[in-house]
């Protein structure tokens, strides 16, 4: 369905008319490009063979026309599109058989970037990390017992100031921390030589990750600088430590001194993600609650299945009626040669063992066809199983005898992972969670194999809650926003990705009919792409970048919002106070917004944002990207910032478009990092940097209401070491994006973006020929444009300057 914008949440801009394509195209000429039509085929039949493992490989394309055609094949694309001089490089998640099909159609396949063994290594690494933490805990406990000393140890005691606040941050490890949920009480003195207790007390709480206790941590404001602290554990152990002064941090850092972060130490399964937000809500009941979303998933479960036979004609597919874990996995079937001539086909059932005695002719040869076995099984064992011929085949092939074969759902997760329809949870953070405050929604893992984005969600929730007590700016956010964080939108697929099939993208629901890939050999291809099942500019509306094939990587589902996961996101978005959202994906280091879909041919885009809206997107983006860059200087490039359909590819029915077009929410999409399951050291860095960005979105939301100040900017020209050139930088009065031209034209949002992600680092230096005319404007995070300039190239009051040295 396509609906007009409700408009009620969008304050600064008029409603975009869906029919206004021509006017919209004037704003961004790039979208008017019509694909030339590449050499590659339009209808590649991609057929993922049973239980084939997929790798991430490069595919080299000539132009965006070829990209559109590739997307139309339903191939499972990573979120990575590099536009180079030579063409476009995309990353596809494909099996060897799919690679062969693509090659056969003329696609140029490049390097293999990620193999199934890489995922196995990540899991092994994660298990080793968790085991190491546990061993550390045991060693710690043992060392304490051996030395017959205290069972609690103070790791750090840091004092620092933040504005006018004085803060003490303490970390301590307690031998019972794994088993007991108790907090620890820290007793302070009030300076050198004073009595312990004279400076008051504070409590610190457990830091548990992936079910493993790491240590207790916490920070509180103090009224005087303590010199020593003491902790007495609930079991009577005593530890005393000297307080140290923490390094000063630059005053303009939005995190402020002593800001607590780094709360995730390994990848987390959906079960662990949900446990984590429950723990957080329990620890901060005044600030947070866990909300169970209204729809449960279909569950990490399948029917027990097998396929007997070797060719399409003689294969017999057998599915249990019961779910695998509810008895289906106990069923077995065998096809027996009676070993005598002239025997009829017969089926006997003993308990859950099904025995098919095949018919023989006068010379003792087997004569039963697959279709006959199917009919006999359904007639005689129909209370246990359903049998069918292979993918619609007539089943005329004669079947061979087979040994007893157990039906299985093939699911390998430990029993601690529920096989039932799974509840989905979000944590709601805010001092006032009644809809009266501006709402922000962050959600991750629509795509199962993307393991880093959920960690960004968790890290962000932890930062908001654990800094509330001592960081004034965090308190501002939590007091004034209503923040929803859903760490896993696709828990079934997420579990499947962790335990069974690392490259799983979709949910686990089988929508394939018995005549298609419903059988055991097709089940790694089942599922709906949760980011193609939404209601706006969808496949069902005729938009590009989603598939109607039940086995496609971008299968849109049988209808819009057919999937419980997507219904839940729709439910979240219906909270009328939500005005900002972040859809967390990986990978590619992108930062994107609507439109996210176009129709082909002609690249007829979903409506572009208005100028005012685009001002806001760009202005806020510069702040968010600056926060990301602050972590380790990783800059999301301007080429990877912008509307999804401009910088990536069309993605019909994606959630960002639903939030934007249906609900008027300023909806962004992160593509975190460089791969789905990077080694932990890298995953950790990505978590930290994109959590920076997500927290900054909260600050953007908070400032949005209050900031009506237009930014001011200036030009600074200094001498260059290159003859005939000068060095030019822009200065801005507040965090703002600067767009400029050096060819005398009026600047627009398509003009060069000054390295806004580096504002805090002083901005880039442009070395220009003396006398160059420079035209520019700036836009801040609330969408305020300098001088109220109309930035579509028709306005006149942009900033003007020349690359000449000031006269002194
Ligand atoms: Zn994704």
Domain boundaries, the chain: 58-104, 148-245, 270-299+417-706, 303-406, 713-803
Fold of 713-803: Immunoglobulin-like (2.60.40)
Instruction: Give the pLDDT of residue 625.
Output: 85
Give me ligand 1 centre to Cα 136, in Å.
Answer: 35
Alpha-carbon gap, residue 525 to 510, rounded angstroms: 9
Question: Per-residue pLDDT for 149 more than 80?
Answer: no
Burial of residue 729 (CB within 10 Å: 0-12, 13-18, 19+) is middle
Range of lowest pLDDT (75-79, 244-248, 455-459, 630-634): 244-248
Name the pLDDT band for 163 (thresholds 50, 70, 90). low
> What are the structure tokens assigned to 58, written together?
């490069």
Give me ligand 1 centre to Cα 35, in Å.
Answer: 25
Alpha-carbon gap, residue 4 to 17, rounded angstroms: 7
Give me ligand 1 centre to Cα 649, in Å.
Answer: 13
Alpha-carbon gap, residue 80 to 355, rounded angstroms: 51
Residue range 6-33, pLDDT digits in tens = 444 543 333 333 332 222 222 222 332 2
Which residues, other chains included, contact 735 with Cβ-Cβ below 8 Å and sequence gap of 6+? 622, 623, 626, 759, 780, 781
Question: Per-residue pLDDT for 781 more than 90?
Answer: no
Q: What is the 3-state secondary structure (H, E, C) of 292-336?
A: ECCCCCCCCCCEEEEEECCCCCCCEEEEEEEEHHHCHHHCEEEEE
Instruction: Give the CA radius of gyration of the chain.
Output: 30
Stretch 716-742: mean pLDDT: 88
Instruction: Give the pLDDT of residue 44.
Output: 52
Contact 261, 459 (CB under 8 A): yes
Alpha-carbon distance values, 678 to 121, 126, 220, 673, 682 (Å) = 10, 11, 35, 8, 6
Question: Per-residue pLDDT for 39 more than 60?
Answer: no
Rounded to 5 degrees, what are φ and ψ at 166?
Answer: -110, 135
CB atoms within 10 A of CB 285: 8
Report the DSSP pairing between strands 165-174 and 184-188: unpaired
Contact 394, 320 (CB under 8 A): no
Alpha-carbon distance values, 613 to 308, 427, 438 (Å) = 58, 29, 18
Question: Per-residue pLDDT for 41 more than 70?
Answer: no
The region that residue 664 occupies, defined by phi over 0 for left and psi between -120 and 50 for alpha, beta otherwise, is: left
Instruction: Give the pLDDT of residue 78.
Output: 78
Stretch 694-708: mean pLDDT: 90
Question: Per-residue pLDDT for 639 more than 80?
Answer: no
Stretch 429-451: mean pLDDT: 97
Stretch 91-112: mean pLDDT: 88
Stretch 328-346: mean pLDDT: 98
Instruction: Give the pLDDT of residue 65.
Output: 85
DSSP one-letter code for 243: -
Nearest to 330 by CA among 309, 310, 349, 358: 349
Question: Per-residue pLDDT for 762 more than 70?
Answer: no
Nearest to 91 by CA among 53, 61, 68, 47: 61
Stretch 321-337: mean pLDDT: 98
Beta partners for residue 222, in sequence order: 166
DSSP one-letter code for 555: B
Alpha-carbon gap, residue 439 to 778, rounded angstroms: 27
Per mean pLDDT, which of 57-71, 88-102, 366-380 is the most reliable?
Answer: 366-380
Q: Beginning with the edge strand found earlier in the chain, give each strand of the sheet holding 108-114 in spatial order.
A: 77-84, 87-94, 55-61, 108-114
Give me ligand 1 centre to Cα 448, in Å.
Answer: 8
Alpha-carbon gap, residue 690 to 513, rounded angstroms: 41
Give me ligand 1 centre to Cα 642, in Å.
Answer: 17
CATH number (3.30.70.3040, 1.10.3110.10, 3.30.540.10, 2.60.40.150) of 148-245 reads: 2.60.40.150
Which residues, other chains included, contact 485 with Cβ-Cβ below 8 Å and sequence gap of 6+? 277, 426, 427, 429, 441, 442, 443, 457, 460, 461
Question: Per-residue pLDDT for 407 more than 80?
Answer: yes
Instruction: Give the pLDDT of residue 398.
Output: 98
Question: Per-residue pLDDT for 724 more than 90?
Answer: yes
Q: How many CA atoms lie within 13 A of 312 on its CB side?
A: 7
Give me ligand 1 centre to Cα 585, in Å.
Answer: 4
Stretch 65-91: mean pLDDT: 83
CB atoms within 10 A of CB 529: 30
Instruction: Give the pLDDT of residue 50.
Output: 64
Q: Bigger pLDDT: 382 or 103?
A: 382
Residue range 249-285, pLDDT digits in tens = 444 567 777 789 999 999 999 999 999 999 999 999 9
Which ranges of 50-95 would DSSP assign to H, the alpha helix?
64-72
Rounded to 5 degrees, what are φ and ψ at 317?
Answer: -95, 135
Contact 578, 440 (CB under 8 A): yes
Contact 257, 470 (CB under 8 A): no
Question: Per-residue pLDDT for 409 more than 70?
Answer: yes
DSSP one-letter code for 401: P
Name the pLDDT band for 760 (thresholds 50, 70, 90). very low
- Measured between its terminal Cα atoms, the distance across the chain in Å is 64
Is 713-803 the same fold as 148-245? yes
Q: What is the 3-state secondary structure (H, E, C) of 240-261?
A: EEECEECCCCCCCCCCCCCCCC
Alpha-carbon distance values, 619 to 115, 563, 701 (Å) = 39, 35, 12
Instruction: Give the pLDDT of residue 120.
Output: 87
CA angle (580 as vertex; 576, 583 as ends), nearest 5: 115
> What are the structure tokens assigned to 220, written together?
């509180």
Give me ligand 1 centre to Cα 288, in Å.
Answer: 27
Q: Cis bond leading into 434, ω under 30°?
A: no
DSSP one-letter code for 661: I
CB atoms within 10 A of CB 203: 13
Burial of residue 496 (CB within 10 Å: 0-12, 13-18, 19+) is buried
Give me ligand 1 centre to Cα 602, in Å.
Answer: 26
Rounded to 5 degrees, what are φ and ψ at 164?
Answer: -95, -5
Alpha-carbon gap, residue 303 to 306, rounded angstroms: 10
Name the pLDDT band for 147 (thresholds 50, 70, 90). low
Return mean pLDDT, the chain.
87
CATH 3.30.470.20: does it fit domain 270-299+417-706?
A: no
> What are the structure tokens assigned to 322, written together?
């019961």
Question: Per-residue pLDDT for 4 more than 70?
Answer: no
Q: Give the residue numbers marked as catalytic.
A: 671
Stretch 234-257: mean pLDDT: 75
Give me ligand 1 centre to Cα 493, in Å.
Answer: 12
Alpha-carbon gap, residue 657 to 659, rounded angstroms: 5
Nearest to 570 by CA among 446, 704, 462: 446
Give me ligand 1 centre to Cα 46, in Å.
Answer: 20
Give me ligand 1 centre to Cα 377, in Å.
Answer: 42
Give me ligand 1 centre to Cα 529, in Å.
Answer: 9
Nearest to 490 by CA among 538, 547, 537, 531: 531
> What are the structure tokens assigned to 617, written together?
């997107």
> What are the structure tokens assigned to 746, written together?
């009026």
Stretch 434-441: mean pLDDT: 96
């Amino acid at each position: 369905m396509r609906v007009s914008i409700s408009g009620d949440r969008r304050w600064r801009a008029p409603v975009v008319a869906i029919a206004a394509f021509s006017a919209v195209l004037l704003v961004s000429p790039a979208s008017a490009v019509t694909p030339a039509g590449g050499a590659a085929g339009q209808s590649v039949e991609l057929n993922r063979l049973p239980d084939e493992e997929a790798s991430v490989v490069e595919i080299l394309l000539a132009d965006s026309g070829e990209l559109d055609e590739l997307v139309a094949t339903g191939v499972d694309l990573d979120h990575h599109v590099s536009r180079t001089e030579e063409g476009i490089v995309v990353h596809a998640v494909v099996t060897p058989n799919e690679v062969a099909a693509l090659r056969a159609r003329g696609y140029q396949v490049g390097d293999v970037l990620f193999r199934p063994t890489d995922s196995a290594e990540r899991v092994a690494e994660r298990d080793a990390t968790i085991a190491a933490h546990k061993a550390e805990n045991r060693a710690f406990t043992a060392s304490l017992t051996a030395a017959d000393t205290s069972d609690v140890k103070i790791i750090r005691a840091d004092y620092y100031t933040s504005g006018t606040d004085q803060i003490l941050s303490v970390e301590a490890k307690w031998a019972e921390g794994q088993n007991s949920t108790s907090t620890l009480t820290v007793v302070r003195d009030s300076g050198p030589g004073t009595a312990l207790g004279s400076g008051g007390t504070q409590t610190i709480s457990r830091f548990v990750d992936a079910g493993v206790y790491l240590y207790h941590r916490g920070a509180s404001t103090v009224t005087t600088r303590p010199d020593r602290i003491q902790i007495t554990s609930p079991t009577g152990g005593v530890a005393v430590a000297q307080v140290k002064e923490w390094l000063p941090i630059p005053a303009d850092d939005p995190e402020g001194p002593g800001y607590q972060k780094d709360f995730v130490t390994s990848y987390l399964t959906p079960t662990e993600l949900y446990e984590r937000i429950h723990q957080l809500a329990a620890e901060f009941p005044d600030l947070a609650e866990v909300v169970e979303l209204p729809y449960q998933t279909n569950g990490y479960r399948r029917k027990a299945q097998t396929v007997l036979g070797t060719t399409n004609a003689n294969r017999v597919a057998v599915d249990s009626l019961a779910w695998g874990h509810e008895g289906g996995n106990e069923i077995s079937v065998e096809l027996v040669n009676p070993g005598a001539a002239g025997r009829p086909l017969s089926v006997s059932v003993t308990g859950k063992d099904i025995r098919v005695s095949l018919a023989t002719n006068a010379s003792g040869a087997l004569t039963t066809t697959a279709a006959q076995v199917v009919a006999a099984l359904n007639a005689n064992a129909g209370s246990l199983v359903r049998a069918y011929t292979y993918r619609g085949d007539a089943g005329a092939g004669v079947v061979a005898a087979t040994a007893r074969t157990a039906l299985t759902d093939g699911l390998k997760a430990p029993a601690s992972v529920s096989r039932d329809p799974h509840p989905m949870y979000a944590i709601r953070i805010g001092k006032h969670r009644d809809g009266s405050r501006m709402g922000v929604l962050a959600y991750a893992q629509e795509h199962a194999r993307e393991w880093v984005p959920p960690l960004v969600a968790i890290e962000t929730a932890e930062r908001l809650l654990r800094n509330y007590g001592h960081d004034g700016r965090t308190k501002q956010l939590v007091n004034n926003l209503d923040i929803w964080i859903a760490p896993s939108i696709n828990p079934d697929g997420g579990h499947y990705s962790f335990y069974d099939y690392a490259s799983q993208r979709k949910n686990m629901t089988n929508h394939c009919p018995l005549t298609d890939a419903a059988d055991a050999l097709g089940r790694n291809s089942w599922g709906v792409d949760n980011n193609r099942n939404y209601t706006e500019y969808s496949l069902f509306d005729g938009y590009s970048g989603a598939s109607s094939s039940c086995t496609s990587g971008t299968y849109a589902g049988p209808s819009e919002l057919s999937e419980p996961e997507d219904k839940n996101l729709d439910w979240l978005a219906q909270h009328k106070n939500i005005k900002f959202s972040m859809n967390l994906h990986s990978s590619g280091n992108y930062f994107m917004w609507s439109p996210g879909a176009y129709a082909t041919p002609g690249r007829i885009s979903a409506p572009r944002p208005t100028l005012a809206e685009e001002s806001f997107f760009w202005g806020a983006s510069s702040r968010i990207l600056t926060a990301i860059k602050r972590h380790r200087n990783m800059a999301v490039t301007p080429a990877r910032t912008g509307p999804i359909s401009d910088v990536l590819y069309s993605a019909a029915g994606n959630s960002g478009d639903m939030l934007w077009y249906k609900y008027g929410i300023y909806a962004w999409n992160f593509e975190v990092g460089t791969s789905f399951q990077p080694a932990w050291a890298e995953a950790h860095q990505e978590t930290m940097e994109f959590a920076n960005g997500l927290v900054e979105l909260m600050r953007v939301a908070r400032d949005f209401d209050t900031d009506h100040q237009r930014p001011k900017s200036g030009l600074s020209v200094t001498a260059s070491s290159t003859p005939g050139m000068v060095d030019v930088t822009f200065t801005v009065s507040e965090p703002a994006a600067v767009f400029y031209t050096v060819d005398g034209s009026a600047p627009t949002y398509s003009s060069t973006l000054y390295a806004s992600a580096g504002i805090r680092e002083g901005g880039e230096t442009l070395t220009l020929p003396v006398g160059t005319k420079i035209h520019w404007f700036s836009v801040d995070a609330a969408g305020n444009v300098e001088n109220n300039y109309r930035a579509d190239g028709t306005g006149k009051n942009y900033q003007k300057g020349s690359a000449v040295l000031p006269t002194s």
